[in-house]
Chain A
């Protein structure tokens, strides 16, 4: 995989050994999600070690083979439903035993139901909040304790630009992701003295299985491009909040400044 390494924007290996931005052993929560798939592939090309967590054992087995052949030094997998908080202790236990000196945790799972379903059913809505917000806080807290104690590493979580402002068409998903962004903000401040980085990744709409059924899906960002931004954020100093593609930082700044009297009338 040497070609891939020379293609890397910066010499990763040098950075890895230099301490500060080191990233070698990454835990991916939600390893079969569309964005995670591409991130993992790029990390494999950089010869990282990976521990993948996702529901389907069968899919994880496929990923293990694929990522190993593509250059990953080691690929471990643990099949579990991350949205079920009662499984979290076992997951973290497995990571501590098999992947003790992990340095990065990337949370990449989420659920985006059609907003209409959430409007029709409180149960569906609560499930959306539970998966995207509650369970994410739960598992990240467990990993945060580890890294805080070791005074090293990085926690990154994929939230969404949808969390920057509540919109008519997507406010349930948006509020869960927005709440997660707030949680990460607080966690960042808590872990800062320990030297643990916390990165909030806010992608715009991306072409993945999650967005296939949406109109305009063909205009959404390419996963490869989004993954490149994420990998770059993981492997070197980056802003605490990463928008990807970059233009979303400016778009959302503008969106946030639309007065509420106008915004509430917008049907999007």
Chain B
């Protein structure tokens, strides 16, 4: 419509519901790029340009005109570190490629463009009795992002990763045009793209196998636990009986680890419709000091108390079970302007002591978060070449970015992970060393031939030394 350059100057009118507060003033001399962040808001980057195709027919042109290594697909920016960023280069924002192209009512197979969000799929298909085969802890990721990071959920021990339910994709490649990949044709390219961090090309559309459910309700159970050993017992005991299992841990409790074990199944009765609640949204980055060891300690104690009091079985709406954090818009701004880092690793099953060692080091550091998560991965074979989940225990924790002390704690955690034969999750990472990446994904070089020549990312350059 028109540029209200003068009217808006100096006012912070947040008309868009988007990140108005964090915008930088654009100099007229450069091509306008909007500031793009990952979910952790660290590192800060400057992109040369952000392409925003509205239609798949525009993507080949964008790729054709781009220099080698200059592009990276971008979705809802829920990767925590720099795997969704391309500092100094360009992004292809896929969010407008958000159309559902086909649905088979009898089989639950859906074909959709890569920018369709999981939230959108739920809104459209849950009323028809279908749910996501695998869902991460937020509904605000795109299908393309879910594939590129081969995301997992609370049902990993049963269903594997998101990629395991992708039957077919169409991939924009600069030399070969639109490449169809499924189990029969280009199956290796499919395996490269699942967990491929967006580096194999732009996904035009994907066929996802949805899962039949009776309704939007979950039969959930909360079980408090007070040691790592009891977590393992609960996990072993629950994984056979429950489709979804995950634990929240209080990482400030030190030696006396405590937590809440969440487990659940889809309710077998349809029940009433669930109304989507829209909670508050953080308007701007809160002062960084608000989250400190005392406030988090207090939060964790309260959280534990509250949930222990609610222990036992209940029937809850799917959104409060799967997406408790989504009820606060832009909660990442809680961590202040410097952002935060997430540390998610997996430790092989035979090395349980390493998990204890990790938690101990965190407790000793006095840093740590209110979002500690423990989950036992299942034995499902990896769906992608660079898939992160593997048999073992995964630990995920948030840390406010406080500069060197935070980074040095993480390096000390790296030691434990590397010595324990574990791996770090690229989607959550902003700082792992090339050596640790190598240890986590020893066969990454086999993936390199599948990289689309036009693609690169900040993460990929950092951990592999690629240009």
- Chain A interface (Cβ within 8 Å of chain B)? 1-4, 6-7, 32, 34, 37, 56, 58-59, 62-63, 65-66, 69-70, 112, 160-162, 167, 169-170, 173-174, 203-207, 209-222, 225, 245, 247, 251, 255, 266, 268
Contacts and interface: CB of A to CB of B under 8 A. Distances in A.
A225 B14 CA distance: 12
A220 to B, nearest CB: 6
Contacts of A206: 1
A251 B15 CA distance: 14
Contacts of A266: 6
A1 to B, nearest CB: 6
Given A218-B19, A218-B20, A66 B101 contact: yes
Contacts of A112: 1
A162 B1 CA distance: 7
B3 A205 contact: yes
A3 B1 contact: no
Nearest to B205: A62
Nearest to B4: A205
B77 to A, nearest CB: 13
Interface string B4-41: 11111000010111111001001010011011000000
B445 interface: no
Which of A37, A69, A112, A210 is packed against the most chain B CB atoms within 10 Å?
A: A69
Contacts of B275: 3, 6-7
Contact of B276 (A7, A221, A247): A7
A245 B274 CA distance: 29
Interface residues of B, number: 41
8 contacts: A65-B100, A69-B102, A160-B2, A209-B96, A220-B1, A220-B16, A221-B16, A251-B4
A117 B57 CA distance: 26
Interface in B94-110: 96, 99-103
A62 to B, nearest CB: 5
B3 A215 contact: yes
A84 B55 CA distance: 23
B276 A217 contact: no
A219 B6 CA distance: 13
Contacts of B99: 62-63, 65-66
A59 B1 contact: no
Contact of B124 (A1, A160, A211): A1
Given A65-B100, A69-B100, A204 B15 contact: yes
A219 B17 contact: no
A55 to B, nearest CB: 12
Contact of B2 (A37, A66, A162): A162
Given A1-B124, A65-B101, A161 B20 contact: no
Contacts of B52: 209, 212
B15 A220 contact: yes
B20 A3 contact: no
A28 to B, nearest CB: 16
A218 B2 contact: no
B127 A1 contact: yes
B203 to A, nearest CB: 15
A65 to B, nearest CB: 5
Nearest to B273: A3
Nearest to B11: A219
Interface string B100-131: 11110000000000000000000110110000
A220 B7 CA distance: 12
Interface in B105-162: 123-124, 126-127
A161 B1 CA distance: 8
A216 B26 contact: yes
Contacts of B28: 215
Contacts of A37: 54
Contacts of B276: 3, 7
A6 B123 contact: no
Which of B2, B26, B32, B274 is packed against the most chain A CB atoms within 10 Å?
A: B2
